[in-house]
């Protein structure tokens, strides 16, 4: 007997993509990624890698501002033992310590003040942040008029309060304090935003649990807020340290480096353009870069350790 039911025929399987086609797709994606990254790679090479290599070569060469250059080994690194450079390092360290402590405390206080969304906090945040929108050179010129003019509003204010006219920039100590105050006014709002972001990232349930356990405000601050804010504090402090170690505009405009207020970067400027020795200036720059690299590596390790 012949069956009238035709046997079931399975549908043909789709052919697997050819390995050659997969390889061409991967190569196309790789080329597209290279095309996207190429402009930034060119910018990094032109504006960072090549100048860095040139600075390293200049640091081991006799390289006058005008004239021929030739290699001279590590002779330029004698600038690191120069008395003027050592005084600049000491003043930079004092300025960095004072500025970092004062700026961190003021910014942290402002962040605590405006961290919650209440009536008027938006206006307060704007007011505190506004000085950060002013350029550092413009801020320095503004405060130069306040500090260095007898008829300025600042001198009239201290005279009205009975303190007499102050010589704000007349000595190293007064110039240090005046400049630290100016930098605090300029950057406190910027660091306030960084710390406020960290404060708002803390789970409110942790504060509620601490209150239930009977902790007061100071205990919550020391036991809950500060430990959880350490990565953000580390970031803000390293940014402040880096900016203070590279201080130039404020002291160049306010004091010109007089009264032993020359910073490391002013010393680099002095070697390059006053002494016309780019080799010694490059050697000091290399040493400064090494210190900054160590600080940034320490920052990354601290943040990673606190994040675990």
Which tens digits make up the pLDDT trace of 203-227? 889 888 988 888 888 888 888 888 8
Residue 276 has pLDDT above 50, yes or no: yes
For the chain, the farthest-separated pair of C-alpha atoms sits apart, in whole angstroms, at 126
CB atoms within 10 A of CB 58: 21
Do 287 and 76 contact (CB within 8 A), yes or no?
no
Cα 233 to Cα 111, 148, 195: the distances in Å are 12, 35, 7
DSSP 8-state class, residue 64: B
Least confident residue range of 35-44, 48-57, 161-170: 161-170
Residue that is written with structure tokens 């008027």 in the block = 120
Q: Which of 197, 234, 182, 228 is nearest to 114 (CA)?
A: 197
pLDDT at 2: 47
Rounded Cα–Cα distance for residues 9 and 76 (Å): 86
CB atoms within 10 A of CB 300: 13
Q: How far apart are CA 127 and CA 136, in angstroms?
A: 18
In this prediction, residues 31-46 reach a mean pLDDT of 89
Indicate the pLDDT class of residue 278, thresholds 50, 70 and 90.
very high
Confidence label for 1 from pLDDT (cuts 50, 70 and 90) = very low
Q: pLDDT band at residue 137, thresholds of 50, 70 and 90?
A: very high
| Banded pLDDT at 13 (limits 50, 70, 90) | low
> Which token pair is 26?
């991967």
């Amino acid at each position: 007997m012949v069956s009238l039911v035709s046997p079931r025929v399975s549908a043909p399987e789709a052919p697997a993509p050819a390995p050659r086609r997969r390889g061409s797709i991967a190569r196309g994606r790789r080329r597209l990624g290279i095309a996207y990254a190429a402009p930034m790679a060119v910018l990094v090479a032109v504006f960072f890698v090549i100048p860095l290599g040139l600075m390293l070569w200049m640091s081991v060469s006799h390289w006058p501002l005008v004239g021929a250059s030739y290699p001279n080994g590590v002779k330029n690194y004698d600038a690191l033992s120069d008395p003027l450079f050592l005084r600049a390092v000491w003043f930079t360290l004092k300025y960095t310590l004072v500025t970092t402590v004062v700026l961190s405390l003021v910014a942290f206080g402002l962040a605590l003040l405006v961290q919650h969304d209440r009536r008027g906090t938006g206006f307060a945040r704007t007011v505190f942040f506004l000085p950060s929108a002013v350029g550092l050179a413009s801020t320095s010129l503004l405060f130069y008029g306040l500090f260095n003019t007898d008829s300025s509003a600042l001198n009239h204010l201290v005279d009205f309060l009975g303190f007499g006219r102050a010589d704000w920039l007349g000595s190293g100590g007064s110039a240090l304090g005046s400049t630290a105050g100016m930098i605090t006014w300029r950057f406190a709002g910027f660091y306030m935003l960084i710390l406020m972001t960290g404060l708002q990232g803390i789970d409110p349930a942790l504060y509620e649990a601490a209150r239930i356990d009977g902790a007061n405000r100071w205990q919550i601050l020391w036991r809950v807020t500060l430990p959880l804010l350490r990565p953000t504090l580390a970031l803000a402090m390293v940014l402040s340290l880096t900016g203070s170690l590279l201080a130039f505009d404020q002291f160049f405009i306010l004091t010109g480096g007089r009264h032993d207020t020359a910073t490391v970067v002013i010393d680099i400027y002095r070697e390059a353009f006053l002494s016309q020795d780019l080799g010694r200036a490059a050697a000091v720059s290399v040493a400064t870069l090494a210190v900054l690299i160590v600080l940034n590596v320490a920052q990354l390790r601290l943040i990673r350790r606190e994040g675990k």
